Amino acid sequence: MTHRIGIISIIIENASQIDRVNHLLTEHASIIAGRMGLPNPNGRKINVIAIIVDGTNDDIGNLSGKLGRLEGVNVKSAVSKQSYPAL
């Protein structure tokens, strides 16, 4: 299977979803290469997380879809056009 490198951006506007987001990220830890989070940037009542992923289109889409179905969670993803062999 070929992999793609990508990024998933997550904006959490409903703080009650933070545990669910973290649970999903833990479930998909095998495709997560890096994570950066900003809790309450500039004092706003939101949380922002950027995830660098390395996985198949299906793996990345599965995680993005599950996150996007959570109420109060906005998700966008982008993947490389070029694919790479799995490590």
Domains and CATH numbers, the chain: 2-85 (3.30.70.1150)
Confidence of residue 16 (pLDDT cuts 50, 70, 90): very high
Confidence of residue 87 (pLDDT cuts 50, 70, 90): confident
Enter the tokens of residue 84: 């790479």
Name the E strands within 1-87: 2-12, 32-39, 47-55, 73-79, 84-85
61/73 Cα distance (integer angstroms): 16
This prediction's pTM: 0.91
- 54 forms beta bridges with 5
